[in-house]
Structure formats: C-alpha cells, structure tokens
Amino acid sequence: MTPIRSLFSSGAVLIAIVYLVLFAIYAIAQPSALSAFSIQALLNNSLPLMLAAAGQTFVVLQGGFDLSVAGVISLANVVVAVYPMEGPGGALVNLLMVCAIGLAVGATNGLLVAYLRIQSIAATLGTMIVCQGIALLILKAPGGHVADWMSYELTDSLFRVFPVTALIAIVVCLLWLVFRRMNVGIALYAVGRDETSAALSGIDVRRVRFTGFCIAGVLYGAAAYMLAAQTATGNPTAGEPFLLLTFAAVALGGTSFSGGSGGVIGSVIGAATLMLMQKVLFSTGISSFYTGVFQGIVMVLAVLFAAAVLHLSQRGRASA
Amino acid sequence: MTARPEPEVATLPPVDDRERPRIASSTITTVIIFVLTAALIVGSRAISPAFGSWSQLETILYLSTFLVIVSFGQGLVILVRGLDLSIASVITLGGVLTTGWLNGSNEYAWALLPAVLLICAFVGALSGVGVTFLKIPPFIMTLATGIIVYSLSLGFTAGTPRGYAPPVLVDFMHARWLGVPAPILFLLVFVVAAVLVQSWSVLGRRLYAVGNNPAAAYVAGLRTRGLTISAYAVSAACAGLTGMMLAGYSDGATLRMGDDYLLPSVAAVVIGGSSILGGHGSFIGTVGGAILLTTLGTILAALGIEEGWKTIIEGGVILTALILLREQFYEALRVQFGKGRTE
C-alpha cells in the first residue's frame, strides 16, 4: 500500500477531515467560534472525553468493552473534590490519587477478564457498580470543592496562546505513538486480531490484556481529573454520560469493535468531534429534547463508517 | 514481552460434554440460587421479626414481577449472543405512552395497550435489524436505540410526563385474586409460559441453536437473522409490558422509571447461570437471579443502609456470582494450576 493510500484508509485521518468540515460549519454559523476564548472553551470541554475515549481504546483494541469507565470517572471525580490539595504540589498529589484509583480498578478488571476469563462486559459491569457505590459513599450529592490551582491553571493557556488542554491531548497522542511501536503495543493489536495466533506466536495474551485494562484505568482517572478541573466541583454520577460517549468516540475514530484495528489518535479526534457536534446541534437551535436522537443516529453511522473504512483498507491491502 | 518456550495449545483430548455436564451445572446453579434466596428470606428474620413473614414474601414476589419480565427478554437477547441496553428507555417508553395516550380512562384501552406493546416490539426489531443486517455490535446498537427512544420520550412528554394509567391497569396491579395479589398470579403464568417458550418450543430451541453456533444454525437451515430479530423484539415488548405495569402500579410514569431495571436485568441473567456469551442458560435460573436480587434489595432497603453501600453490595454480588458460578472459573483454575492450556 502506498503511504498516501494508507493515510486515507486510517480512521484517524478520516475523522480529522470530518472534524474540520464540522468546525467550518460551526464557524460559519457562529463567527465567534473562531475567537481564542471560544476555541479554548471547546478544547477544555472536550479533553475529559478525549482521555476517557483514549483509555477505552486500549480495551476495544483487544476486542473487549470496558463499562467501568463510568464508575472510575465518578469515583475519581468525587475524590478530587472531597480531598482538594492546593498548589502545584497538591495538584500532583491529586493526580497521583486519581491515577492510583484508575490503576486499581483497571488491574481488577484485567485480573477478572484476562486471568479469570470472565466476559469483559460482565466483569466491568460489576466493577462499575462497585465504583459508583464507593463514589456515593464518599459524596452523597454533587458538591465538594476542587483546588483552585487545578481549576485555574489546567484550563488556562500557556503564555496566553497555547491551551494547556491541547498540550495534554498532544502529549497523550505522542505517548500512544511510542506505545504502539513497543512490543506490548504490537502485541495488543495481535491479541485483538486473533488471540490464538497471538498465543501461538509466543505472546503472553493474559499479560497484554491485563496491561491494556490498567492503562485504560489510568486514563479514566486522568479524564476524571480534568473533568474536576473544568467543573470545579464533584458529582458522584459524573461518569455516567461517559459510558455512551466513549464508545461513540471510539467508533467514530475508526477503531473496530471486533478488536485489532484502530488507534488512540482516532478516538481522541472522535471525542473532539462528538463535543463539537453538541455545540453545532445547540447552535442550530434544535430542541435539546431531541439531541439524543442525533447522538444515537451518529453513533450507528459512525460504526457503519468505520466498518466501511476497514473493508476498503483490507480490499486495498489484498489487491496491493 | 517474554517469549514462551512452549506455545499454549490444547493438549487434552476433546471431551464430549455436550449433554450431561452442562445440564447438571445449570441445574445446580439454579438450585443454589433458590436455596440462597430462601435462606436470605428466612435468615432476615434474625434482623427483624417483620422479615421472613408471608407478607414479606408476598412483597418480594410482587416487586420481582417487574424484574422477572424484563429479564426474560434480556435473557433471550443474551441467548442469541447479544445484549439489550435499550431496556431502560423502552420501559420508560411503555410507561409514558400508557399514561400519555390513555390518561386515566379505560376508553380504547383494549386497542391502545396492545398498540403500546407493538410499538415497543418494533423498537426492539429495529435494534435486531441493526445487529443482524448492518452488523453493528449489539452493545452499540441497543445503546443507540436506547438513547434515541429516551430522547423521543423526552420530546413526547416535553420533559415532564403527565397523565394517569387507565383504571383497568391500576385495578389489576392492586387486585387480589384467590387471596394473592393479581400480579403474582400473572407472574406465575408468565414464568410457566416463558419456560415453555424458551426451553420446550421450536422457537426456543432454535434460539439456543443460533446462540450456540450461528454459522452451524445457518447451515442447518435456520433463519438466523429473523430469529435474532425476534429475540430483540420480544425483549423490547417485555420491557414495554414492564413499563405499562409500573405505570399501573404507581399510577403515573416518570422519565427515569426504567433506570433501575437495566443493569439488574443483565445481572439476573448472569447470576442465573446463563453464559453472557450466549448459547446456554435457563429461564428458571434467571427467575431465581431476579428474585434473589429483589430480595437483597428489599432487605437492604429495610435495613436503611446507605445508598452507596447498597450499590457496592449489588456490584459485589454480581462479581461474586460471575466468579463462582461460571464454568470459566473452573477452567481458569485448571489453566492456573493445571497444564497451562488456554482453550
């Protein structure tokens, strides 16, 4: 396959084009969308979903589903709001706390799915419910207070030009590019494509799956952290909307739900597209009651789109 | 990545376990669940004398009616290797349409109530079409139909459902026949009919065949797509019926009335010993799972435990059931401590 062709059959590039088109529509409908403030607000809104979708990708790539994303985000969000720590040092401690929570839940999922061989939907359903329960124990109703340093600095711009949130998204994408070239990254794709072949080629399937769930958990924790920084408050049900949206973002980004193809960058742009779409729908004045109809339809279309892209790229590979 | 010196391949001879062990293990699971439920009810007497009484049992059975009906549909969808996440929204749809269209009168109830069920079944069939013909993962498809249906219910009611259930429905939900609440008798009839359909009818056996091996079922001449779609349609119709009954029970509908049934319906099926991968499991086990969950919920509610603890215990029960009642657990033990074979 020629490089150009491989570029266009990649879900990430296609969704990036969709994003640009959508953004153009938005900018035409609402010229103020191009102001630095507006762009930064959009990025700030999108980052939690971007991180959560990036995490979900690590599980979808291995052919699984991770429902615990909703539980981890609720739990980590509440923890940050109930134990706020001031200053940059405090923010770091808070970040370590949410990552530890995500890692613990991810490791539990990994243990259940990879080692006890429980279907990922069922196992993560259980861990999600437990996490939601713990979140409710820590904070019964929305409230709490997020450290000022976090809510100001992390939603601000570096040198008044470059939004911090964009920097974080770029760093995640760069880390992903490194990861997918590492042995474990390649193994993750192999396991998603064909578990038996991967095992026969000497890949420790269980460890690869386990690692995938752990990374996913840490990213959910980071998503909750950024959500807290943005909303400056805690909510024990903060994670629930993410359940639907992360899957939609992953699907939009061109990652196949049967596993083994796709990637984090597509999911990140997919997440950004979903958030942009909400803005566009809002600006067109469609009754907010019916936005769900569009979200549902877009999700189905996204999966069909991703399947078609995969089909075309495979046909291209076969003929090359 | 550590390279393994020996590739993991099946070294044990294939054992023909198509008949005996599966039936045995599912029967054992079912018995364990019912014994556990009975023990829970009797044991709860220790907490308060009000527990463990006949009237408490009646309450539990009454409340479990809703979950049992929803779980039957969920079980059929899981049987054909799917998952129905649209249940919560379809329950809401059933309730909202019932109260919205009939609004406290019996007029045309004979036509409108079946119409509500048909609409719900149609929604389910749409999910089924997406899953079979468009090859969208069931998880995504039903999530999408769920959010679409919810959004339509939101628009239909303009955010606040108004209206009342028809008196015929309210009366039925509060009637006592032969000294027993009518819904419990209905539950009995429903369970018997559902067992007959799932385990003894041609349709049921075909659904098992599709769930066990869709390719083989197709080769054997079964219309796998049609069968799969019918499972989704039945599931949505069951959800709609539950919404209707809930509307009659509380004489009104709310937009979040279905939320409490989605995850428990999956849990009931899984606890009942059905494989979440599809292909096997019995409805009686699911009924046991649903009653067990309802019993647990009733006791926890009566104890006045915090919402958080209730949720944690619910999740814990699901996880424990998953670990203990699955054949995979024994398989995993064998993998861990045995010869290291994977499949």
Whether residue A220 contacts residue A76, with contact meaning beta carbons closer than 8 Å, is answered with: yes
Q: How far is the alpha carbon of B137 from chain A, nearest alpha carbon, in Å?
A: 7
Residue window 28-57, chain A: list those with CB within 8 Å of chain B.
none
Per-residue tokens: B86: 């649209």
What's the rounded Cα separation, in Å, for the pair B88 and B266? Answer: 12
CA distance A29 to chain B (A): 25
> Any idea which residue has 């009637």 for tokens?
B175
Element (H, E) at B181: strand B180-181
Average pLDDT, chain A: 84
Distance CA B58, CA B63 (A): 9
DSSP helix/strand/coil, A129: helix
Q: Alpha-carbon torsion B183, B189, B194, B195, what sign? A: positive
**Chain A positions in Cβ-Cβ contact with residue B144 (cut-off 8 Å):** 295-297, 299-300
Can you give the residue range of the structural domain that contains A289? 3-319
- Is A317 strand, coil or helix? helix
Taking an 8 Å cut-off on Cβ atoms, the answer to whether B148 and A136 are in contact is no
Whole-angstrom distance, CA of residue A41 vs CA of residue A225:
17
- In DSSP terms, B180 is beta-bridged to B177
Q: Whole-angstrom Cα distance, residue B269 to residue B258?
A: 17
SS3 of chain B: helix, strand, coil, percent, to 5? 70, 0, 25
CB contact A136 to B (< 8 Å): yes
Q: What is the domain partition of chain B in residue ranges? A: 54-304
| Nearest chain A residue (CA) to B6 | A202
**Which of A82, A115, A121 should we substitute to test contact with B (largest number of B Cβ atoms within 10 Å)?**
A121
pLDDT higher than threshold 80 for residue A183: yes
Say what the ipTM of the complex is.
0.79
Residue B339: predicted pLDDT: 46
Would the CB atoms of A133 and B310 count as touching at under 8 Å? Answer: yes
CATH code, A248 = 1.10.3470
Closest-CA residue of A relative to B85 is A244
CA A222 to chain centre: 10
Q: How many beta carbons lie within 10 A of that of residue A184, not counting itself?
A: 16
- Chain B CB contacts of A118 below 8 Å: 322-323, 326, 328
Rg (CA), chain B: 21
Instruction: Give A143's contacts (C-beta < 8 A, 6+ positions apart).
Output: A81, A233, A234
**Enclosing H/E stretch for A40:** helix A36-60
User: pLDDT class for B8, splitting at 50, 70, 90?
Assistant: very low
Per-residue model confidence as pLDDT tens digits over A240-294: 888 878 988 888 888 887 788 888 998 999 899 888 888 887 777 776 778 788 8
Higher pLDDT, A144 or A223: A223
Summarize pLDDT for B71-104 with one digit per residue, the tens. 999 999 998 888 888 999 999 999 999 888 887 7
Nearest-angstrom CA–CA distance, A77 and A60: 23
pTM score of the predicted model: 0.80
Count chain A–chain B contacts defined by CB atoms under 8 A: 161
Residues 6+ apart with CB under 8 A from A226: A47, A48, A51, A154, A165, A168
pLDDT digits (tens, 9 = 90+) for B239-251: 999 999 999 898 8
How are beta strands A162-163 and A157-158 bridged, if at all?
A: antiparallel
> How far apart are alpha carbons B165 and B252 in whole angstroms?
6
Q: How many independent structural domains does chain A possess?
A: 1
Torsion sign across C-alpha atoms B85, A236, B268, A243: positive
B2 contact A CB<8A: yes
Is B114 an 8 Å CB contact of chain A? Answer: no
Cβ of A65 within 8 Å of Cβ of B311? The answer is: no
* Residue indicated by tokens 């919810």: B150
CB-closest option in A129, A205, A287 to B311? A129
Of B159, B270, B336, the CB nearest to A289: B159
Bridge partner list, B177: B180
Mean pLDDT for A130-156 is 84
pLDDT of residue B264: 85
CB-count burial class (<10 Å; 0-12, 13-18, 19+) for B321 = buried
CA angle in degrees (0–180, nearest 5) for A76-A263-A13: 120
